[in-house]
Amino acid sequence: MLCYAWQRLPEPAVLQATEAAPFHRPLELLTQMLLHATRQLLRRGLPLAFSSIEQETKELRGRIELAPTLSRALLPQGRAVCRFDELSPNQPLHQLLAGTLAALATHPGLPLALRREVSEVRRRLPASVVPLVPAAPVFGALRRQRLAGADAFLLHLCELIFDTSLPAPAAESRSRFPDFRRDERLMARLFEQAVRNFYRREQRQYRVFAETIAWQAEAAHTPDLALLPTMLTDTTLDSPARKIVLDTKYYAAALRPRYDQVRLIAPHLYQLFAYLQNLRPTPGQALEGILLYPAATAAVDVRYTLGGHPVRIATLDLHQPWPGIAADLLALVA
């Protein structure tokens, strides 16, 4: 799911490395993946970019910074503070990588052998790369750079490790890593992205995208229409013959107890119904809706016709081996 959510399928070497060793905690798996990605980066060589450096020096380079030079009385000593640009691997992503590896190298939640492996890889980074402590503003700034490929994968790994860290009790000064699968908000986002990107890659019948739906509404005062909430589908699968609105819901159960019996979750059904009522398919195109839940408690697969449109509420068993998950997803829209 992580690989599809990040739009980066595992390379054969990664699969061999992860399948060969048992992982008792998700942090161990994420650390192994980060180590493999870092080794790949080091094998290719860290990309260089110009960095602005301010340095006290005897040789004039670039631009002299008069204020610090005069305040330190450097000129009589034959020295000056200069600012110049230099090609260096000391870039924000590499600094973040160094900081993440430094945190993992001393983390008590990892086996000693894995921590030593992290330390060894950390020492292979150039000494000029200054470690940057992982923090939310750092990830925000790097996301705005719209990194791609291997760089984006490194960023995703570092951010997931950061997001799933929790402060330990006040008596301790260390951090601990929980199972990120217990974070429902994070897993809901991953589940949605993984399902959408799976359909983008694994089938050719539909065009796959997240679609903004316009309200079929009128108002006496046109500006009032801007107050209506945005309707954005999780996944729309579009072909000349069919348009499927697929909403993923990462909940513990697709059914909830209501008085003396269980029922479907009303807000989810209302939301999907609103999407179908306001969409305008092309002539000859059938419009359908699907609510997809993970099968955490009991399997559900029910079908209705709502407002003239076929609607299906189904669960996906995420505990089965991946080939079964893939086959179930393809069968859902077949």
Torsion angles phi and psi, residue 317, rounded to 5 = -80, 105
Reading phi first (left if > 0) and then psi (alpha if -120 to 50, else beta), residue 142 is in alpha
Pair of tokens at residue 239: 């072909």
Domain ranges of the chain: 2-46+93-180, 49-88, 185-332
Q: How far apart, in whole angstroms, are the C-alpha atoms of residue 173 and residue 91?
A: 29
- What percentage of the chain carries pLDDT values higher than 70? 89
Pair of tokens at residue 141: 């700034």
Q: Provide the Cα torsion 31, 33, 38, 40; round to 10°.
A: 160
The CATH topology of domain 185-332 is Trna Endonuclease; Chain: A, domain 1 (3.40.1350)
Pair of tokens at residue 277: 């009522």
Say what the pLDDT of residue 136 is: 84
Say what the pLDDT of residue 120 is: 95
Q: How far apart, in whole angstroms, are the C-alpha atoms of residue 269 and residue 264?
A: 8
Pair of tokens at residue 161: 């490790």
Per DSSP (E only), the strands in 99-206 are 166-167, 175-176
The low-confidence residues of the chain, meaning pLDDT below 70, are 7-24, 164-181
Say what the pLDDT of residue 159 is: 86
Q: How far apart, in whole angstroms, are the C-alpha atoms of residue 56 and residue 71?
A: 13
Strand 212-213 relative to strand 261-264: parallel, antiparallel, unpaired?
unpaired
DSSP assignment letter at 11: P
Say what the pLDDT of residue 185 is: 81
| 208: nearest Cα among 235, 231, 248 | 235
Say what the pLDDT of residue 238 is: 96
Range 148-161 burial, b when 16+ CB lie within 10 A, else e: eeebbbbbbbbbbb
CB 82 within 8 A of CB 54: yes
Q: How many CB atoms lie within 10 A of CB 41?
A: 19
Q: How far apart, in whole angstroms, are the C-alpha atoms of residue 263 and residue 232?
A: 25
Strand 286-294 relative to strand 242-248: parallel, antiparallel, unpaired?
parallel
Tokens 């159960």, residue located? 253
Residue 278 CA: distances (Å) to CA of 88, 216, 217:
54, 6, 9
CB 192 within 8 A of CB 292: no
Return the sign of the alpha-carbon dihedral for residues 23, 28, 29, 35. negative
What residues contact 256, with CB distance under 8 A and at least 6 apart? 262, 263, 264, 265
For the segment 15-41, what is each residue's pLDDT rounded down to a tens digit? 444 554 556 677 888 888 899 889 988
CB 255 within 8 A of CB 263: yes
Say what the pLDDT of residue 8 is: 61
CB 81 within 8 A of CB 74: yes
Say what the pLDDT of residue 329 is: 96
Amino acid identity of 48?
L
Q: How many CB atoms lie within 10 A of CB 268?
A: 16
Q: How far apart, in whole angstroms, are the C-alpha atoms of residue 11 and residue 14?
A: 5
Pair of tokens at residue 26: 């998700």
Pair of tokens at residue 235: 């996944």
